[in-house]
Amino acid sequence: MDLTHSAADEEFRLEVRQWLEDNLVGEFAAIRGRGGSGREHEAYEERVAWNQHLAKSGWTCLGWPVEYGGRGLSLFQQVIFYEEYARANAPAGVNHLGETLLGPTLIALGTEEQKKRFLPGIVDVTELWCQGYSEPGAGSDLAGVRTRARLEGDEWVVDGQKVWTSLAHHADWCFVVARTEAGSQRHAGLSYLLVPMDQPGVEIRPILQLTGTSEFNEVFFDGARTAADLVVGAPGDGWRVAMATLGFERGVSTVGQQIGFARELDDIEATARRTGAWDDPVLADRIVQARIGLSVMRTHALRTLSAYDSGSEGPEASVSKLLWARWHRDLGELAMAVRGAEALTVEQAPYDLDDQQTLFLFSRADTLYGGSDEIQRNIIAERVLGLPKEPRP
């Protein structure tokens, strides 16, 4: 595992750092640190403007091929960008699903017409996307989807419900896994459709979270329509395409995410010193253990990316979600422990949470969304380690 950066990489780091320093000024300086998990409601329009500013300077879709509007950067140059972006406390992005999931899927499996139609809007941050996977009866078990689509003339007609759809209320389009073959079950008979959100057949209902905000949504399709040619891959081949989409998220941004985690941990340690919790050996030990865990996660992430970059990708990536989700959930609990009783009160009515309270409440979901810990362990056991499948009725 070679984790050293070349001289060219270090020059690139200085370029990124200087650009962020020169551009996170004025109106953009005012939104430093805004947004992110549990805080997507913060300065949303201003963050869209910032992301479009990034696009104009060529700082979106960094790993995409140049011919599709990207910069064709190496994996480790992408890591460098996300590290410096996090260190600058730049605003959270608004285009993650389009840039890291749908875009690479279209590049690999879409038609030339689909690429010409949709990739420029992702690069420019002028069309935003959401992901229509999870349903009330098919969360981590994606093969259980019941949303249906039928072909009528030159259009697909979509009926069904999706849930936990992040930022659907801001999205222009949704990539939807729907059952298009009558009588099909499980992985067979699914199709991967691109569906416009602004139409009469789409209803979006925000889901109120513990944090008092709503970045997740229920989405109801009732006769929603999309063009017949807006199916990625062949009709009925949706499972393969959906799995390819999930495979494109290599975790490059998680290294930057860990810098954000370190900032949260620094804040908790400062709070512990202020409240006297640092003098409690048990709490002090938990803070030290959190530091060690963060270091382990960083090393693991870099090892995983190094293996992928060298073409020797192994099972390491499969455990990344388990590592960071449980660590971050425990960090939220630690934040409340060092605060003591003051953690139970809000700054002002009716429900004005501070950063640590938001961290605690939202991180309860970390071990659930993106595949629950239980499902993740089953996947690792059965598909990575080759253990016998769990008995099912």
What amino acid positions are annotated as catalytic residues?
A: 249
309, containing H or E segment: helix 281-309
How far apart are alpha carbons 109 and 236 in whole angstroms? Answer: 14
Asked whether 92 and 35 are in contact (CB, 8 A), the reply is yes
Q: Which is it for strands 190-196 and 231-232: parallel, antiparallel or unpaired? A: antiparallel
Longest CA pairwise span in the chain (Å): 71
Sign of CA pseudo-dihedral 220, 101, 330, 80: negative
What does the block give as tokens for 221? 């399709």
Q: Which residues pair with 204 in a beta bridge?
A: 219
Q: What is the DSSP string of 348-368?
A: STTT---HHHHHHHHGGGTTT
Mention every residue, 6+ apart, whose C-beta is less than 8 A from residue 176.
Answer: 132, 147, 149, 158, 162, 192, 193, 194, 195, 221
Q: Is 49 helix (H, G, I), strand (E, B) or coil?
A: helix
With a CB cutoff of 8 Å and minimum separation 6, the contacts of 144 are: 135, 137, 138, 186
